[in-house]
Amino acid sequence: MEGDQETSVAASSVAPKKKKNGSFRSIFMHADMLDWFLMVLGLVGSLGDGFTTPLVLLISSRLMNNIGSGPTIDPNAFTNSINKNAVALLYLAAGSFLTCFLEGYCWTRTGERQAARMRARYLKAVLRQDVAYFDLHVTSTSEVITSVSNDSLVIQDAIAEKVPNFLMNVFMFIGSYVAAFAMLWRLAIVGFPFVVLLVIPGLLYGRTLMGLARKIREEYNHAGTVAEQAISSIRTVYSFVGESKTIAAFSEALQGSVKLGLKQGLAKGLAIGSNGIVFAIWSFMSFYGSTLVMYHGAQGGTVFAVGAAIAVGGLSLGAALSNMKYFSDASTAGERIMEVIKRVPKIDSDNMSGEILESVSGEVEFDHVQFAYPSRRGSIILNDFCLKVPAGKTMALVGGSGSGKSTVISLLQRFYDPLVGEIRLDGVPIHKMQLKWLRSQMGLVSQEPALFATSIKENVLFGKEDASMEEVIEAGKASNAHNFISHLPQGYDTQTVAI
């Protein structure tokens, strides 16, 4: 109504929030029994997908050895050996199709289910919070929207894509080294230490990206706040001809993310480019493998497959560790969401306990009320305020901006509780009443009312969902809006976005 409420939500008095690093289990806190079943099947699929490449290398080494020794062995034995390996590859192809299907379907399915459940719970929890929560913890509506959309998408992406990718790469690393030691342990044990050279770039890349991604998100939030404030106050922007200034401020806010993006690209380029070391490792493996062929009776196909397994295993481990950045982001987002979901506000609209009056006459009394907004405890808005409004009377509160007119209404609707004193409706303290029932007995039209993007009838029905059409019309007449609405092309069925 007036500016006293605007002053109360000044962000300058809000203490800076601490950054939290969430736990990994916060990503899966919205899973039910079916989701856990899907994740187990997805785990089996990731295991099969990861072991497919090592098994292909193992069978390929046998094929290459058979082909290489073809002229020196019996043709029938040669043909039988080739056929056996070919059949094994066919079985492996069928198994790979099944496991990859399980991996892709199950993880994507459970990711969608958990994200949908999380979004619903988060929005319900946000709507449950008291107004003081938004004064103290939410600096802009864009922060809530970001949590509903971006944070949930980060978690969904981690469950549906990053977790199976991580598991597949880990199992590929394990399977590759198991296959390498099974084929030729002498060569595998020599190549094993080189895995460090393949893992370090992935670790550095993941660690660097974790820090850069956090900073980029903060920069984007700053730019989003600029855009959100401009669009929500678009009339003010137009009246002061501030379009160019807003664009300049938005562009300036984006410069930080551009610089961080360049650093991110450099880190990514160095990490990907460093994978070229795999060819140097393979070169050494070929050299040492040749000595095993000459002096220890090793076969060329086995040497090739072991070298490939060592290289592929090292690269897969580096790729797996690079996913840690996404798990860190997802767990942090999960903690932010769970913090809101688990928070029980002091003024809880979901609390169904409390008194309900059989009839309401409408007498309102403020008894020695003292109040200051939670965000500005040192600024007393009402001090020893007393007021009694008899039932059926019309009353007007008059005063300058910031004198407490809007505050009186906020306290009556129990958006806040007074620090001292008591507010009574028909002689009963309102803090002892059921909150939803109390608010259902009142109607509030603020200075700048907001209409939802539905019909006029449906907007009116928000006050009483089971009201008849006659009651809707009576409400329109009582608010002196019936004649205006009746002249609209579709009357009460007119969509408010068209008004």
Question: Considering the chain, what percentage of its residues have pLDDT values greater than 70?
Answer: 90
At residue 138 the predicted structure's pLDDT band, cuts being 50, 70 and 90, is low
Residue-wise pLDDT tens digits, 354-390: 888 888 888 899 999 999 888 888 888 888 889 999 9
- Does 67 fall in a domain? yes
Highest-scoring range by mean pLDDT, 55-69, 426-440, 449-463:
426-440
Helix (H) or strand (E) holding 220: helix 195-232
At residue 11 the predicted structure's pLDDT band, cuts being 50, 70 and 90, is very low
- Does 184 fall in a domain? yes
Query: Residues 417, 278: one domain?
Result: no
Highest-scoring range by mean pLDDT, 51-65, 160-174, 455-469:
160-174
Compare 339 and 21 and report the one with higher pLDDT: 339
At residue 147 the predicted structure's pLDDT band, cuts being 50, 70 and 90, is low
Domain endpoint, select from 342, 376, 404: 342
At residue 169 the predicted structure's pLDDT band, cuts being 50, 70 and 90, is very high
Domain endpoint, select from 291, 308, 342: 342
Domain endpoint, select from 342, 374, 406: 342
Compare 444 and 118 and report the one with higher pLDDT: 118
Query: Residues 35, 164: one domain?
Result: yes
Query: Residues 211, 128: one domain?
Result: yes
| Residue ranges with strand state E in 43-119 | none
CA distance 138 to 146: 11
- Listed range (3-17, 202-216, 408-422) with the worst mean pLDDT: 3-17
Which residues, 6+ apart, have CB-to-CB distance to 494 below 8 Å?
455, 456, 485, 488
| Predicted confidence (pLDDT) at residue 451 exceeds the cutoff of 90 | no
Query: Residues 173, 303: one domain?
Result: yes
| Predicted confidence (pLDDT) at residue 343 exceeds the cutoff of 80 | yes
Residue 237's domain comprises 14-342
CA distance 480 to 476: 6
Residue-wise pLDDT tens digits, 243-285: 888 888 888 888 888 888 888 788 777 777 777 787 788 888 8
CA distance 151 to 338: 11
Mean pLDDT to the nearest integer, 438-455: 78
What rounded mean pLDDT belongs to the chain?
83
CA distance 138 to 132: 10
CA distance 199 to 219: 30
Q: How many CB atoms lie within 10 A of CB 314?
A: 26
CA distance 333 to 214: 11
The predicted pLDDT at position 123 comes to: 85
The predicted pLDDT at position 142 comes to: 60
- Listed range (121-125, 205-209, 420-424) with the worst mean pLDDT: 205-209
Q: What is the DSSP letter of 373?
A: -
The predicted pLDDT at position 22 comes to: 55
At residue 10 the predicted structure's pLDDT band, cuts being 50, 70 and 90, is very low
Taking a C-beta distance cutoff of 8 angstroms, is the pair 353, 434 a contact? yes
Query: Residues 207, 59: one domain?
Result: yes
- Pairing outcome for strands 380-389 and 428-429: unpaired
- Does 348 fall in a domain? no
373 phi, psi to nearest 5 deg: -65, 145
Query: Residues 259, 143: one domain?
Result: yes
The alpha-helical segments, DSSP class H, found in 234-371 are 234-239, 243-273, 277-295, 300-322, 324-342
- What is the Rg, in whole angstroms, of the alpha carbon atoms belonging to the chain? 34
Identity of the residue numbered 338: M
Query: Residues 295, 253: one domain?
Result: yes
At residue 195 the predicted structure's pLDDT band, cuts being 50, 70 and 90, is confident
- Does 447 fall in a domain? no
465 phi, psi to nearest 5 deg: -65, -25
Highest-scoring range by mean pLDDT, 198-212, 263-277, 307-321:
307-321
| Predicted confidence (pLDDT) at residue 219 exceeds the cutoff of 70 | yes
How many domains is the chain built from?
3
CA distance 466 to 472: 10
Mean pLDDT to the nearest integer, 157-162: 91
- Does 404 fall in a domain? yes
Q: How many CB atoms lie within 10 A of CB 390?
A: 11
Query: Residues 435, 470: one domain?
Result: no
At residue 50 the predicted structure's pLDDT band, cuts being 50, 70 and 90, is very high
In the block, tokens 């098994």 appear at: 55
- Does 238 fall in a domain? yes
Domain CATH for 158: 1.20.1560.10
Highest-scoring range by mean pLDDT, 21-30, 109-118, 287-296, 310-319:
109-118
- Listed range (12-16, 43-47, 450-454) with the worst mean pLDDT: 12-16
| Predicted confidence (pLDDT) at residue 402 exceeds the cutoff of 90 | no
Mean pLDDT to the nearest integer, 21-48: 88
| Predicted confidence (pLDDT) at residue 68 exceeds the cutoff of 50 | yes
| Predicted confidence (pLDDT) at residue 131 exceeds the cutoff of 60 | yes
- Does 347 fall in a domain? no
Domain CATH for 435: 3.40.50.300
Taking a C-beta distance cutoff of 8 angstroms, is the pair 275, 314 a contact? no
Mean pLDDT to the nearest integer, 84-106: 91
Query: Residues 420, 485: one domain?
Result: no
CA distance 151 to 167: 22
Residue-wise pLDDT tens digits, 424-441: 999 899 999 999 888 888
The predicted pLDDT at position 70 comes to: 61
- Does 449 fall in a domain? no
Query: Residues 33, 121: one domain?
Result: yes
| Predicted confidence (pLDDT) at residue 77 exceeds the cutoff of 90 | no
Query: Residues 113, 204: one domain?
Result: yes
CA angle 162, 148, 459 (to 5 degrees): 150
The predicted pLDDT at position 311 comes to: 84
Query: Residues 330, 391: one domain?
Result: no
Mean pLDDT to the nearest integer, 278-298: 85
At residue 38 the predicted structure's pLDDT band, cuts being 50, 70 and 90, is very high
